[in-house]
Amino acid sequence: MRFGVNMVEPGSRAEFRGQGAAGRRPRVRRRDCGRPPGDAGAVPGAGARRGGHFDGAAGHVRAQRAVLPPAVLARDVATTDQYSGGRLELGLGAGYVREEFEAAGLPWPGRRVDHVERTVVELRKLFADPEHQPRPAQDGGPPLMLGGWGDLMLTLAAEHADTIALTGAPTAKGGGLVGLAGVDAFAERVSFVRSRLGGRTAEINVLVQMVVVTDDRRAALTDLERFAPDMSVDAIGELPTLLAGPVPEIVAQIERMREQFGITYVSVLERSLDAFAPVLKHLK
């Protein structure tokens, strides 16, 4: 099982407090917010800000939405892949923050998934071209993560992605995410994307919105009702996108995710970094 953390600035909190053995340490994701297409330094900056050192804890740099021109993104991805020694994974999504698209000069809602597909196809083409420079360290380019929730994005992910990331919430028409989806809806999304793999295999990732380590699980779940205001406390406790309770109960919940949904890659947000760190000690 793999674990990750969405971070605005990588390399913080003493490398996720040094939790985990080699190969199991959290993989740092770079989330680039509101950068215009001309900002060519968005991806390489994640490695460079580590003082010139790119270690195993920074194995994944994610561009939140595909707003860079593919040729520029290909250059940055290849450079970062070289810099990381071939440990880069590239994550793309259609995005859900309207202001980010407006800042980049892209229409909303537009055809965001079409743009992601064009980007993916063009990146594959460029990385397969032996004459294209710079070359990524990994043959054919780094592994690809595609994240989303809707039919179009998950169909695209099933066709192209090495890792399919489930956001756990649909996007509102005007931008932003609506409340977290229930466990039945989550199961349906997993079934939907698996039915479209066409014989391929892909890793399933879930983005956990909040981790609360506490002896009073029910009180914590009650406080988390803001993420799913239409659900009962018991229903919130079943969500794979919220983790609350004593460490052993959180560990058991993650193990149930793996058994029920086939999730083998769990990511948390930076705000939950400290809370999730001790959980890693008990997971395999």
Residue 49: its pLDDT value, please? 42
Residue 193: its pLDDT value, please? 97
Cα 28 to chain centroid, rounded: 10
Q: What would the pLDDT profile of 52-94 be if each residue is shown by its tens digit?
A: 334 444 455 555 455 678 899 999 999 989 988 898 899 998 7
- Measured CA to CA in angstroms, residue 38 lies from 47, 66, 67, 68, 186 at distances of 19, 12, 9, 7, 36
Q: Count up the domains in the chain and report the number.
A: 1
Q: How confident is the model at residue 153 (pLDDT cuts 50, 70, 90)?
A: very high
pTM greater than 0.75: yes
Q: How confident is the model at residue 124 (pLDDT cuts 50, 70, 90)?
A: very high
Q: Which two structure tokens, joined as six digits, stand for 31?
A: 């989330």
Separation CA 50–CA 206 (nearest Å): 26
Higher pLDDT, 16 or 206: 206
Residue 180: its pLDDT value, please? 93
Q: How confident is the model at residue 149 (pLDDT cuts 50, 70, 90)?
A: very high
Q: Average pLDDT over the chain, rounded to whole?
A: 80
Q: What would the pLDDT profile of 203-234 be if each residue is shown by its tens digit?
A: 999 999 999 999 999 999 999 999 999 999 99
Higher pLDDT, 174 or 230: 230
Is the pLDDT score of 38 beyond 90?
no
DSSP E strand boundaries for 21-88: 27-30, 61-62
- How many residues would you count in the chain? 284
The answer to whether 179 and 161 are in contact (CB under 8 A) is no
Of residues 54, 171, 59, 45, the one with CA closest to residue 108: 171
Higher pLDDT, 7 or 81: 81
Residue 65: its pLDDT value, please? 54
Residue 18: its pLDDT value, please? 47
Report which residue type is found at 115: H
**Percentage of the chain lying above the pLDDT 70 cut:** 71
Residue 138 is part of a domain; what is its CATH number? 3.20.20.30
Give the range of the structural domain holding residue 72, as residue numbers without chain letter.
2-280
Burial 98-108 (b: 16+ CB within 10 A, else e): bebbeebebee
